[in-house]
């Protein structure tokens, strides 16, 4: 990492089956033509993340990996593999955490279907001193979620059926709910209708 680096990583969760969308969400396009995974990688780096891990898995992981190999996101990302994403999103979080370098001090857990978060929001999360930080817009919690290094070992022990909500519930006193002006922390693109609205 460069001098003055924060040591914060973005863990981009892109291993889902995208059943409702009908195609890999990671390869959907934003207005400038970038894929969702490319856009998130660029936003994460511009916001101060020093490392980017993209978690892939079946059934679309090989397709996404091939696409990234032919036109890799800028900046480059490490690929982590979740062999069974059907176990739930936390299984992808586990795969991403396992792939982090030793120097990482915090991780932004970032689902690939939330691609429009502003650089300024990421920068605020990266620089925040809280160890568990949830960006909040209009009283609703969104993503990416910031987890300090000290929580990552416990995350690896969580029940995949309950997910990260179990961590937030067990350590409510340690959770910072950070108000942000960025409505995009809540924009979750799950269906073709959602995607059409973003394209409009």
Q: Where are the chain's structural domains?
A: 8-199
Residue of 128, 180, 197, 152 lying closest to 53 (CA atoms): 152
Comparing 5-14, 106-115, 166-175, 178-187, the range with the smallest average pLDDT is 5-14
Looking at residue 199, what is its pLDDT? 87
Residue of 73, 182, 175 lying closest to 120 (CA atoms): 182
Looking at residue 67, what is its pLDDT? 86
Q: Does residue 30 surpass a pLDDT of 80? A: yes
Band of residue 3 on the pLDDT scale cut at 50, 70, 90: very low
d(C-alpha 162, C-alpha 87), whole Å: 11
Q: What is the pLDDT of residues 42-69, one digit of tens each?
A: 999 999 999 999 999 999 999 999 988 8
Task: For residue 23, give the DSSP letter.
Answer: S
Burial environment of residue 193 by CB neighbours within 10 A (0 to 12, 13 to 18, 19 or more): exposed
d(C-alpha 18, C-alpha 28), whole Å: 11
Q: Helical H runs in the chain?
A: 36-46, 61-70, 89-98, 119-127, 149-155, 165-170, 192-199
Evaluated on CA atoms 16, 163, 141, 48, the torsion sign reads: negative
Q: What is the pLDDT of residues 119-175, one digit of tens each?
A: 999 999 999 998 999 999 999 999 999 999 999 999 999 988 889 999 999 999 999
8-199, what's its fold?
Spore Coat Polysaccharide Biosynthesis Protein SpsA; Chain A (3.90.550)
Residue of 71, 88, 109, 103 lying closest to 162 (CA atoms): 88
**pTM for the whole structure:** 0.93
Mapped onto helix, strand or coil, the DSSP state of residue 197 is helix
């Amino acid at each position: 990492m460069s001098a003055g680096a924060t040591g914060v990583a973005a863990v981009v969760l892109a291993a889902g089956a995208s059943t409702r969308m009908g195609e890999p969400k990671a390869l959907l396009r934003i207005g400038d033509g970038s894929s969702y995974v490319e856009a998130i990688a660029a936003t994460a780096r511009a916001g101060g993340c020093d490392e980017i891990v993209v978690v892939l898995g079946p059934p679309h992981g090989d397709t996404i990996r091939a696409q990234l190999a032919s036109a890799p996101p800028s900046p480059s990302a490490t690929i982590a593999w979740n062999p069974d994403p059907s176990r739930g999103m936390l299984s992808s979080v586990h795969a991403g955490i396992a792939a982090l370098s030793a120097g990482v001090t915090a991780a932004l857990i970032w689902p690939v279907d939330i691609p429009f978060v502003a650089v300024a929001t990421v920068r605020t999360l990266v620089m925040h001193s809280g160890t568990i930080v949830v960006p909040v817009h209009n009283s609703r919690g969104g993503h990416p979620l910031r987890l300090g290094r000290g929580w990552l070992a416990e995350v690896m022990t969580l029940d995949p059926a309950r997910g990260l909500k179990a961590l937030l519930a067990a350590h409510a006193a340690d959770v910072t709910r950070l108000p942000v002006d960025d409505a995009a922390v809540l924009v979750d693109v799950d269906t073709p209708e959602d995607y059409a609205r973003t394209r409009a």
